A and B are shown apart, each in its own frame.
Chain A
Amino acid sequence: MSQMPPAGVKNPLLELRDVSFVRSGKELLARTNLTLGSGGRTVIMGPNGAGKSLLMRLAHGLLKPSQGTIVAGGNGSPLPRQAMVFQRPVLLRRSTIANVTHALALNGVPRRLRRDQAEQALERFGLADLAQRPARILSGGEQQRLALARAWALEPGILFLDEPSAALDPAATKAVEDAVNAFHANGTKIVMTTHDLGQARRLADDVVFMCCGRIMEHTAAARFFKAPATAAAATFLRGELVLDVPAPSCFTH
């Protein structure tokens, strides 16, 4: 199993140590080690059911691992503040700005500061004019931008994105990618999944390739796209179908 981090994961931010996840007797994630360095854009790739979303939810703390631990990188340091953007944004049945102020409230931002911070975040993502609209009547692209603005307001150390543009048109996809780069430029660690190879090439600094509930490789992006270490990744990159249960293709190295 080549789970080597790409040369030079410096300043580890979050580490998964021997993490596995079992549901109804099925091992959906086998003992996994993963070190996420600070900064940088990590893209998790792999066929459906490979465990990409599961890995992110475990790292983010939405799911408890059956075994293993998730720890902050520098031993003893607290977990960095995190946010997550989902494929289909979940917005509260409130105004656009109230969606942001509520997130700030949950993160303990004092009431008097919330409105200003929320307005700045909306402004940043071109939503200032829509601040008073009910969030649920925004278009799909606007809703995802609101989800990103909400995450932005929280100033996360790590931002997880689960297929953030899978349901969007090219213009809205561009907006999501610009946002990812804005977070990145701001020093936020990016961890995202995508099915879009082009998007992965545009954004990834390093790639985690998964198959059958395992990390097959974790490689610097340039190397991964040029010379993947595993046969499964090579197949995947050629655009062929990697059928994962019980895929022998996952395990031929």
Chain B
Amino acid sequence: MNSHDPFTLALSLILSGDPGLFGIIHLSLQVSLSAVFVASLIGLPLGAAIALFRFPGRGLVITLLNALMGLPPVVAGLLVYLSLSRAGPLGQFGLLFTPTAMVIAQTLLVLPIIAALTRQAIEDLWEEYREQLQSMGSGRVRAIPTLLWDARITLTTAVLAGFGRASAEVGAVLIVGGNIEGVTRVMTTAIALETSKGDLALALALGLVLLTLVAAVNATAYLLGQMSRSRMQ
């Protein structure tokens, strides 16, 4: 690795399978995928329930959910930091500066995206299906799994949007994870650190991987959109 060009260095890091680099990538994926998994588990049924049921304050809940889609990662990080810090309500679990804390923070970021997009998708579909499903004897609760499955393509796009947000954010994981090498260092925090240290090769290598990942996610979302238009609509 004697080349002076950081771009060449970055490529050789990736191609040589540098363990430090791949450790960081592995942790990043582990944290973001876990967060997306938990957020989907809660957000899909929650969004569907908000779509189907009328209750006092529903408009407020929807507005809040939509607003939280733009929750700044550093604010999410700060909130989780305050809850998990020694003096906080969840301080006794000693989770601060662990990957678990990072998963919690990213779940908080992703959940509103998945829930809000699900709410919209399911509400549109319910509008279309309501009479037919009622005619066949389906109540609202029974309609939830039907609608979630029938909106599967749109909902996959929503989950991908959540994953895109989780994998690209730096503020939340930096605050609650602390960017500890080998423990809580992920792609985005490593890029921030290595750039400020002047190690552009590692930063650039991680940047390339991250860019590829985000491009792949968006390509998948696009293809799913095409598929749903041509086959299912």
Contact = CB atoms under 8 A, between A and B. Distances in A.
Chain B: interface size category: 10 to 19
A154 interface: yes
A93 B232 contact: yes
A15 to B, nearest CB: 20
A137 B231 CA distance: 6
A86 B132 contact: yes
B150 A106 contact: no
A83 B138 CA distance: 12
**Binding site secondary structure of chain B:** helix
A157 to B, nearest CB: 14
A185 B109 CA distance: 60
Contacts of B129: 90, 92
A175 B70 CA distance: 53
Contacts of A103: 136
B227 to A, nearest CB: 11
A62 B135 contact: yes
A134 B134 contact: no
Contact of A136 (B136, B149, B152, B231): B231
A90 B128 contact: yes
B17 interface: no
Nearest to A133: B231
Interface string A65-104: 0000000000000000011101000101110000000110
B132 A90 contact: yes
Interface of B: 128-129, 131-138, 142, 146, 149-152, 231-233
30 contacts: A62-B134, A83-B135, A84-B131, A84-B132, A84-B135, A86-B131, A90-B131, A90-B132, A92-B129, A92-B146, A92-B150, A93-B150, A93-B151, A93-B152, A93-B233, A94-B149, A94-B150, A102-B146, A103-B136, A106-B133, A106-B136, A106-B138, A106-B142, A107-B137, A134-B231, A136-B231, A136-B232, A136-B233, A137-B231, A154-B136
Given A93-B152, A94-B150, 19 more contacts: A57-B131, A60-B135, A61-B134, A62-B135, A83-B136, A84-B131, A84-B132, A84-B135, A86-B131, A90-B129, A90-B131, A92-B129, A92-B150, A93-B233, A94-B149, A106-B142, A136-B231, A136-B233, A137-B231
